[in-house]
Structure 1
């Protein structure tokens, strides 16, 4: 299991952050978590080729992660704050995805949807589906996670389809959700950061 370091504490602590500030921080963290998930899948010998499949996988995972973050926001923010948070989060995630997809695949030809629009369209398409699933203190329920697994299954070559749902449900999602939960707590925290230990050089007499 890979272990990535995610910075989720603000340098300036002691005051509540706006939903937009929280969304900006969590968008970057969601991107890091999605990339870690993809890396682990490839390390587990699932074929995810650099190119359209790579970004199709990433889009699916990012939509799932934004849905999880929306449920977390529901528990921690009022209705207005939650709405501001999820709107800003989805936009920023889409921007980060577009920056990377444009760089690796190129900007779509004139007349075709941008990579940003593709992500927004997918989020809107799947939002009602994910809304049907449950979420509690333990995280997303079985159906919530299985839905992602079957979405990913459709992207995989036939040789991987038999195993990919189990990999997503048993290995990838639990770690990804745990990372998001820890990061959200850190980002929303108003506690001051613990001071770094100073290094004092000593010399022997």
Structure 2
């Protein structure tokens, strides 16, 4: 079943603040990352635990945050882009914390995600990005990281291909469309 993403404002005439846009983008990013993790399961790839599935979702979130940063570069001033990305990252951390609490129980899940985000963002920043979107090398890196997170089970050995040829690109396109629509 296709994921339906609401990316239009109810009152389109009203101007939206960057924190409002960031909040909507964070929700969309969470839904897309979750959908991609579910899709891997539907394609017969396996997770050993809910914690492992959450790590895959987090990797997709890092990728989508990188996408938001790249897409907002030409659209916003440096200060506005910085404000958007900080608000977006804070909201994404809230989603990670809340959903991790629900699945894994009490604990601080936001702080480790921030550390993970900073580490991965430096890695993703080294890859090319053009007007068509992320480079094949970037999508390959995303696939490699997700395959590493999912482990060496024999049924998971083609995860990298699924992510770089289909799921990563699909998440990028849907997120890009939503971001563009939210800024209209």
Question: What is the TM-score of this pair, normalised by structure 1?
Answer: 0.85
Query: Partner residue of 2:19?
Result: 20
Aligned residue for 2:149, secondary structure, equals coil
Deviating 4+ runs (over 4 angstroms)? none
Query: Partner residue of 2:116?
Result: 122
Q: Which runs of 5+ in 1 are unaligned?
A: 109-113, 190-205
Residues 36-95 of structure 1 deviation map (CA, whole Å, 9 limit, x = unaligned): 101110000000244211111111111111111111111211111110011111110010
Distance 1:141 1:175 in 2: 14
* Residue correspondence of structure 1 range 116-155 to structure 2 within 5 A: 116-155=110-149
Distance 2:53 2:44 in 1: 14
Query: Partner residue of 2:168?
Result: 173
Superposition deviation, residue 14 in structure 1: 2.6
Say what the alpha-carbon RMSD is for the aligned residues: 1.3
Distance 2:91 2:48 in 1: 25
Distance 2:183 2:49 in 1: 35
Residues 135-165 of structure 1 deviation map (CA, whole Å, 9 limit, x = unaligned): 1221111121111111111112321443111
2:158 pairs with 1:163? yes
* Residue correspondence of structure 1 range 1-205 to structure 2 within 5 A: 2-108=1-107, 114-158=108-152, 159-189=154-184
Distance 2:182 2:137 in 1: 28
Question: Which moved further from structure 2: 131-140 or 90-99?
Answer: 131-140
Distance 1:50 1:77 in 2: 40
Aligned residue for 2:2, secondary structure, equals coil
Question: What is the TM-score of this pair, normalised by structure 2?
Answer: 0.94
Distance 1:63 1:50 in 2: 20
**Higher share in helix:** 2
Aligned residue for 1:155, secondary structure, equals helix
Distance 2:16 2:133 in 1: 24
Aligned residue for 1:45, secondary structure, equals coil
Aligned residues: 183
Distance 1:157 1:125 in 2: 20
Superposition deviation, residue 167 in structure 1: 0.4
